[in-house]
Structure 1
Amino acid sequence: MNFKVVKLVGSTGNPNPTKAPRDAESRRRARESRLRSLTADHQLDHVLRALAAEHVEGRRPGRIRLRPEFAQLAKPITGPVSDRKLPAVRQRPPSTRLISPSGTSQALYLTVLFIAQCQRGPGYKPDTTRPVIAHHTNDPEVRPWSDLLAVPATEGSGAGTTKHDVDDNRRRQLVRALRRLADDDMRLVTLPNASRGSRKEEGFRPQMEAGLLDVASRRPYVVPGDDEKVFSLPAAFFTNGWHLALTPSEIALLMVLWVRTSDAVGVKGQTSVAADTRLRRYALSPAAYGSHQMLHRFGLLDVEYPEGRNAVDGTFADYSTKYSEDTPPPLHKFTLTEAGFERLAVPTVMATLRGM
């Protein structure tokens, strides 16, 4: 069945933005500042070492497997759709529900799935006894979640760069991220100890990637079985810190591309995303789709632009004479460059930003 698409932009026609974009230089500076803050008091180095240790000490999965429902809707959105008014948050798949300025919730949930698959095999539930924050009553040999997630040192807290400030800020952001993941609009974790007077987030339980909102009970996360349909991403995405260095929109687009090239695991072919599919199946905004330009600069994505299409703004010089709603122009073709994830993320992104 064909549905009408209202005033689409980005992947099949000329952009028609309703707001002027933020100054590119200010965005670049803000992003550089955020990346520098991740390294405050060497927290990023500590986190990457901890993630690598969890991988090596565990099952050493080469790829981390996710169910497609994390990045795509089981049933496409019906009725008119428009880039000017994206579907409500509750109508989006979790990967795009998690797009936010900080990205902490997105990074945390993905880290939880990575650790689960380092620890447990297909068909098993993850261990939920790992402490959120180190406490004198916990086993000192078990790394708390606060050691496995780097956060911007100064984000929304006024924290400085001393070890005490960084650690305290990381704890606050971790707690906020867990509460967001547990929210009824997310349903990606549950907090069984929420009624406690303190340490409410301890013992949190991850839920299935679909984050189902239309069922009465939540479904506890289980490592995907060998017979399940999945898409996968390299373990280096985590051990080299790409889940921390990329923006939530960049990660959401990567998830879409991994889903679309998942038929042959580990062998990534070429794919395109039509505007109708981008909105109805992935609820992906034009800005998130446009992040392919930065992913290409970082060496993570090869982009083949159609003849006559401007690689910078996506426009066609002869759009009005050659194309229409019934005859859309050809699409970008994307190929994931997975060797790029073998490099350390933050130095790679910083060097790219400074060279722009």
Structure 2
Amino acid sequence: MMVSDAERVVRDVLGARLLRVEPYISDRAAALARAAEVSARRRQDRLDQLFRLRSEIDAACQAAHALMAVPRPQDLSPTRATGAPVIPDIEIPRSVLYRTDSRVPAIPRLVGRKGESIRLFLAMKLVEHAIELGRTNLRALQDVSHRRAPHIASWPVLLGYPSDLSERAVRQRLERSLLALEGAALVALGEPGANGRFRTASTRTPSRQGSANVRLPIDFFLNGWHVVLTPPEIALYLALRAARDVYRRRATETVFIPRAVRLEKFHLSDEMYTSHSELAEFALLETSDPEPRRRRGRIQKHAYTEVLPYEFRIVRKSLERVAYDEVSQRLTSQSSSPRLDVDQSGKIIHRAPMNRPGEQAAVREAQAIRDDYHRSSDATNARDEGSKTS
């Protein structure tokens, strides 16, 4: 059968387009494969570190239980386990997470090389909470030892420091964290050069009961989440708890943080924000994505309208699980991060194209959600303006 000149031209054009598209597809697949390899290596490193610090993490949990005078579940009989005491949540000032003036919030500023100081700040809040409730014989933060002492009143034990650290390394590590907290105006230290400067440390952010505080369940410490989660994960988890009373979609009781608010008020960078994938993997969050144009965290089509943020539901019951068991099991069962579309064999999972059946319905639902967000944002702005005038 003879091929007309027009058909030949069409075939040549389609073939040329295919030649241009194939390298793009292969390059993208190779980039995703490299990202999956890097993710698998990082997860394995984290898992190895958990294995090395298993005894220290268990000691930190034991120290938290002893500090709050709460027996561990494995030490309770079945009859006593049902009558476990209920301890009030720890209250953390919202100002350390949410920008209320010209200063950058302290917790997001510490994420990075100074991230370890976040754990120390939370541990100090735990000790203060135990003192306020009268659950310990400690009378002040100064009664907690800076040495890796065998008793529970020891910062290195409560923070899960490696047992092979020398006393000098422990002291230097604590002092660096205290200096970072002082720079963020979270603690007050003695005068520079004064004897016992670091032993007189005290928090400068007193927690007062009210809506201006973020409530953190005591199980966060009793089950070791404060030493198992990374500083970015801790910062995001606290930020979502802070946003729960302000940015909440009441129809589904989910929390969301618009991008502008996330950057300007909470000062959560994109890298910190992506930690929600790990928090969801560890069952601390339930995540939903109302944005139909997003794939692997990126918008696939040009966004002429604002991009809908992720929605989260905080799962409080998950804090009752032992952090080491939960995180190590998740890291072992899946080699790559859930934020990558990679199956167990390491192959890339190709999603359906954007123009799929039901996309128009998803777009209409997204518009309804966007209107809901606007109503929540307007109410929040009015509340902020009212608090300023009062």
Structure-2-length-normalised TM-score: 0.64
Tell me how far 1:307 sits from its aligned partner: 5.2
Per the TM alignment, residue 173 of structure 1 is displaced from its structure 2 partner at its CA by 1.7
SS at match of 1:92: coil
What amino acid does structure 2 have at the position aligned with 1:275? R
Matched, 1:72 2:72: no
8 Å CA contact retained: 1:146, 1:171: no
Aligned length: 280
1:7-156 alignment to 2 at 5 Å?
Answer: 23-39=38-54, 42-56=55-69, 61-75=87-101, 91-101=103-113, 103-120=115-132, 127-134=140-147, 143-151=153-161, 153=162
Gaps of 5+ in 1: 1-19, 78-90, 154-162, 209-221
Q: 1:34-53, CA deviations, whole angstroms, 9 ceiling, x for partnerless residues?
A: 323433xx222222111111
Letter of the structure 2 residue corresponding to residue 64 of structure 1: I
Taking only the aligned residue pairs, the percentage that are identical comes to 24
Per-residue deviation at 1:120?
A: 0.9
Change (3 A) 1:328 1:127: same
One-letter amino acid of the counterpart of residue 133, structure 1: H
Q: Is the CA contact (8 Å cut-off) linking 1:130 and 1:143 kept in structure 2? A: yes
> What's the secondary structure of 1:129's corresponding residue?
helix
The answer to whether the 8 A contact 1:132-1:201 is kept is: no
SS at match of 1:353: helix
Residues 208-234 of structure 1 show CA distances to partners (whole Å, capped at 9, x for unaligned) of 1xxxxxxxxxxxxx3x33346212021
Secondary structure of residue in 2 paired with 1:195: coil
How far the C-alpha of 1:302 sits from its partner, in A, is 0.5
Separation in structure 1 between the aligned mates of residue 226 and residue 193 of structure 2, nearest angstrom: 31
> Which structure has greater helix proportion?
2
For 1:257, the equivalent position in structure 2 comes to 240
Q: CA RMSD in A?
A: 3.2
AA in 1 matched with 2:159 = L
Q: 1:253 to 1:355 in 2, by over 3 A?
A: same
SS in 1 for 2:257: coil
Secondary structure in 2 matching 1:56:
coil
Matches within 5 A, 1:148-227: 148-151=158-161, 153=162, 163-165=163-165, 169-183=169-183, 186-192=184-190, 194-196=192-194, 199-208=196-205, 222=206, 224-227=207-210
Larger radius of gyration: 2
Give the Å deviation of 1:142. 7.3
Q: Distance in 1 between matches of 2:287 and 2:273?
A: 12
Distance 1:309 1:347 in 2: 36
The one of the two structures with greater contact order (alpha-carbon pairs below 8 A, sep at least 6) is: 1
What's 2:320 paired with? 342
TM (norm. structure 1) is 0.70
Aligned-pair CA distance for 1:188: 1.2
| Distance change >3 Å, CA 279–CA 52, structure 1 → 2 | same
The counterpart of 1:304, out of the listed 288, 295, 315, is: 288
Alignment check: 8 A CA contact 1:54 1:115 kept? yes
**Consecutive unaligned residues in structure 2, runs of 5 or more:** 1-33, 72-84, 335-390
Matched, 1:290 2:296: no
2:355 aligned residue: none
8 Å Cα contact 1:232-1:262 kept in structure 2: no
Q: Residue by residue, what CA displacement relative to the aligned partner does 1:161-205 show, whole Å, maximum 9, x if unpaired? A: xx453665444322221122123xx121122264235x5411211
Q: Secondary structure at the match of 1:66?
A: strand
Displacement of 1:274 after TM fit? 1.2
Q: Secondary structure at the match of 1:176?
A: helix
Answer whether contact 2:97 2:266 (CA < 8 A) is retained.
yes
Q: Which moved more, 1:329-338 or 1:103-112?
A: 329-338
Q: Match of 1:349, as an amino acid? A: V
> 1:272, CA displacement in angstroms?
1.1
